[in-house]
Structure formats: structure tokens, C-alpha cells
Amino acid sequence: MIEALLFDFNGVIADDEEQHRAALGVVLAGEGLSLTPQQYYSDFLGFDDRRCLIEAFRRAGKTLPPLQLERLLAQKSRVYQELIDRSLALVPGAADFVPRAAERFRLGLVSGALRQEVELVLGRAGLQRYFDVLVAAEDVEQCKPDPAGYLAARGALDRRRPLPAGHCVVIEDSLPGLSAARAAGMRCAMLTTSHPSAALARAGADLVWSDFAGHDPAELLALAER
């Protein structure tokens, strides 16, 4: 039985991985560090902002004191919101898929982005009311591939009405996200917004779509048979 869908956000609801990459690049450049698009998509995709910054400084052999980290996190969020103000796009089909999914499933959203960033986009897209629970970066201590976010979302839904992990399907676009779903004991459908379909299939995705366009949420019920 499939009772709940737990959505990732960046690259699954919001088509904004490029804005996140660009904002992170601006912040790092101000500190004398560089991050190429290839490096971001191969090594940083799926991490929250905190881990991205810590990892970038570690690779550069530079220290990152806590106060500086907090300043850079706030700066990155400001740059991201400026970029979103110029151009906000959803993943194709998401605006239609989410409301239809809410008619059949309980919905949660688990993101490594800050809550204010997620709520900004969901509010503008008119999708916030469809999610029963939102777990953002500041709600858990460990980011993906750690399962903490998905476990927290399932736990919140379970407190309202029992929900076994095996009754949840995660929708992701990143390999760390897939690992997090697996570690949480959940099936995982994946979109090719960040990785090619062959790579996702090799990694063990239960289902691979290019995006939501042309798909019905009921298609995910077939995953209960796997």
C-alpha cells in the first residue's frame, strides 16, 4: 500500500538548481573560492547550504569559523531570493501533479533548503496548502544522504495517523536523496532534472520520469508491488 508521497524540493518542485548553484558560486567567489558547474552537480548536489559551504572550504584547505559560516549562509539565501525574483520556474507538470496527488495521498516535503526559501516558492506557486508537513534544512541536524529529513517527515505524519515507512514513496532528483530514501526504508521515484535516466536506473531508482508532465499520481501505486 502507498499512503504518502514525500517530495524533495529543489529539482523536484522548483526548477531552481541553477539558481542555487549560481548563488553559492557568488558567495564562494567573494571568499576567493571557485565552484564550477561540473563540480556542483557531481559533488555538491543534494547537500544543504551548510554542508556545501563547509565542504567547499575544506577542499580549499581554509578554515570556516561558525560566525563566518552563518554570515555566508544568510548571504547565499539573499542572493538566491534575488535570482528567484527574476525568474521562478517549476519542474514541468509539478503545478498540476501536486494538487492531484493530494487528492489520493498524504503529502510531505523534505528539503535541504532553508524554510523561508521553500515557503517563498511554494507560496508564489500556490502549492503550500497541499503539504501536510514540511521539513527544511534547519529542522534536522544531518542533511541528505542521511535519512533524518525523511524520517522526521514520516514521524510527523505518523503522529497524526499511523504510517509505516514502507507505505511512503519519496520523489527525488539527486543521488544523495535516493540514498536518504533508501536508508529511511522507503521506495524512491526519481526525476531526470539533475542526472540522466541511465545513471538513476543504475543507482537503483524504483521509477524514473523526466518530469511530471503527462503523469498521473496513481501511477505510483504500482511501486507497492515491487
User: pLDDT of 69-91, one tens digit each?
Assistant: 999 999 999 999 999 888 889 99
As annotated, the residues of the chain forming the CATH 1.10.150.240 domain(s) are: 17-86
Q: What is the pLDDT of residue 181?
A: 98
Check if the beta carbon of residue 54 is closer than 8 Å to that of residue 47: no
Q: What is the pLDDT of residue 32?
A: 96
Residue 7 forms beta bridges with which residues? 109, 171
Alpha helices in the chain (DSSP H): 17-29, 37-39, 49-59, 66-86, 94-104, 115-125, 148-160, 175-183, 197-203
Torsion, Cα 193 197 202 208, to 10 degrees, reads 80
CATH no. for 17-86: 1.10.150.240
Against a cut of 0.85, is the pTM above it?
A: yes
As annotated, the residues of the chain forming the CATH 3.40.50.1000 domain(s) are: 4-15+89-225
Q: Please list the ranges in the chain whose pLDDT falls under 50.
A: none
- Across 171-183, b (16+ Cβ under 10 Å) vs e yields bbbbbbbbbbbbe
CATH fourth-level superfamily of 4-15+89-225: HAD superfamily/HAD-like (3.40.50.1000)
